[in-house]
Amino acid sequence: MISGKNEDELLEIEVKIRIDEPERLLSRLESLGAACFRDRHLEDNLLYDYPDLMLAKRGCLLRLRRRPGEAVLTFKGKARVERGAKVRLEREVKIGDPDTLAAILEGVGFKRAYRYQKYRTEFEFRGLKIAVDELPIGNFIELEGDQERIGEVGQLLGFQPGNFLTVSYRDLHREHAERIGEAMGDLLFPPSKG
């Protein structure tokens, strides 16, 4: 997230790129001197919405993310694509008691609309936050930060702007489910994954 002095400047600017071999990309990041600030960990994400899915219809989301030792509540505004990157308002706050927060959200009328999991390893490199994500539908890298720097680092890692995706993991899951002819539910690993 890029932070400014007012809320209009709390922007998330990112792209996703589908990757085949996360281990190779991790090695490349290490060889370039990227600093790993969070080792591989499981993230469990719950999206909440009103019963009529008003947030999703507006292109917004409310997410409760759990990872080891931390939980974060995030609101994301409607996304737009600018110069090949997804740009949207993002506000986050760390949560000390995610179970109580979940009960509060449900108590005021939100419902759990979608759940997805991923294994994530996080790096910082040249002012970008870089995440290597492993999901049940495939592997991806996320580049987040300055738009020009995203293009430069993407090329340094061997990717072109044509490889950049500006959709959410939920959208990618929906496309995957349609492609294989299955109903879309939550996106979870089998219990033995790890």
* pLDDT at residue 1 tops 60: no
Please give the average per-residue pLDDT across 55-68, as a whole number: 97
Quick check: is 102 in a domain?
yes
pLDDT tens-digit series, residues 126-152: 999 999 999 999 999 999 999 999 999
* pLDDT at residue 90 tops 80: yes
The CATH number linked to 26 is 2.40.320.10
Is there a contact between 176 and 31 (Cβ–Cβ < 8 Å)?
no
In order of 143, 170, 193, the CA distances from 49 in angstroms are 27, 14, 28
* pLDDT at residue 3 tops 90: no
Quick check: is 188 in a domain?
no
DSSP, collapsed to helix, strand or coil, labels residue 172 as helix
Quick check: is 118 in a domain?
yes
Quick check: is 156 in a domain?
yes
Q: What is the reported pTM? A: 0.91
Quick check: is 74 in a domain?
yes
**At 191, is the pLDDT very low, low, confident or very high (cuts 50, 70, 90)?**
confident
Domain boundaries, position 35? 7-180
The residues, any chain, with a CB within 8 Å of residue 169's CB and separated by 6 or more, are 16, 116, 118, 133, 135, 140, 187
